[in-house]
């Protein structure tokens, strides 16, 4: 009887261990994190603007766990989203356009690159969806070339913070003011 009870206890213990191990294993699902195309009608998750109707490098974030894809009309909006505390914990693959290889006014999705490996120019005279923007490049030399030409500076992904976005925002207000003044002058209104 004791022998039978000990064996039964061992069998139950073994079943319990197997059950716990089976429950604790994560179900790994293959999620495609390759970049996707930007299509007419795609809206920027930050501002709601139509992504393909604006010039400049754009961005996308693909959640590595769910496959959810978020699209952004500019790299600046991508960082506006990314720098929110709740988004920094998202396991995401991030893509941006390589501005050295695309037509600024109509960037080709063939040249989307890993956003974390990209080089960014802040302070250039190139305008994106919301005015001044971060210009992304695959190669440091291309980024440095634009920075030298336009007086901007080159940053890496982890260098871009809320202060950089604030700097872009201030430049955007100045751009809007100057642009509005030119329009008023062209119409004879002062």
Q: What is the pLDDT of residue 88?
A: 83
Model pLDDT for residues 108-157, shown as the tens digit of each residue: 999 999 999 999 999 999 999 988 999 999 999 999 999 999 989 999 99
Other C-beta atoms lying within 10 Å of the C-beta of residue 9: 10
Average pLDDT over residues 68-85: 96
d(CA 27, CA 8): 31
* Share of the chain residues as helix, strand and coil, in percent rounded to the nearest 5: 40, 20, 40
Q: For 48-91, where are the E strands, in sequence order? A: 59-63, 69-72
**Model's pTM, two decimal places?**
0.78
Q: Is 156 helix (H, G, I), strand (E, B) or coil?
A: strand
| DSSP-assigned letters across all residues of 100-150 | TTS-TTS--GGGEEETTT-EEEES-S-EETTEE-PEEESSHHHHHHHHHHH
54, 82 contact by CB (below 8 A):
no
What pLDDT is stored for residue 20 in this prediction?
A: 59
Most trustworthy range by pLDDT among 18-22, 23-27, 119-123: 119-123
Q: What is the pLDDT confidence band of residue 17, given thresholds at 50, 70 and 90? A: low
């Amino acid at each position: 009887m004791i022998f039978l009870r000990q064996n039964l206890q061992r069998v139950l213990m073994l079943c319990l261990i197997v059950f716990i191990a089976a429950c604790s294993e994560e179900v790994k699902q293959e999620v495609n994190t390759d970049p996707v195309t930007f299509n007419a009608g795609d809206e920027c998750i930050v501002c709601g603007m139509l992504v393909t109707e604006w010039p400049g490098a754009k961005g996308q974030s693909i959640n590595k766990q769910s496959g959810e894809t978020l699209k952004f009309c500019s790299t600046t909006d991508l960082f506006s989203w990314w720098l929110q505390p709740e988004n920094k914990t998202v396991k995401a693959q991030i893509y941006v356009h390589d501005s050295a290889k695309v037509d600024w006014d109509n960037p080709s999705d063939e040249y989307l690159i890993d956003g974390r490996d990209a080089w960014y120019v802040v302070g250039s005279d190139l305008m994106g969806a919301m005015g001044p923007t971060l210009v992304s490049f695959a190669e440091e030399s291309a980024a440095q070339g634009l920075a030298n030409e336009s007086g901007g500076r080159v940053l890496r992904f982890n260098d871009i913070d809320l202060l950089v976005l604030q700097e872009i925002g201030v430049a955007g207000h100045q751009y809007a003011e100057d642009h509005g003044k030119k329009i008023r002058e062209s119409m004879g209104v002062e």
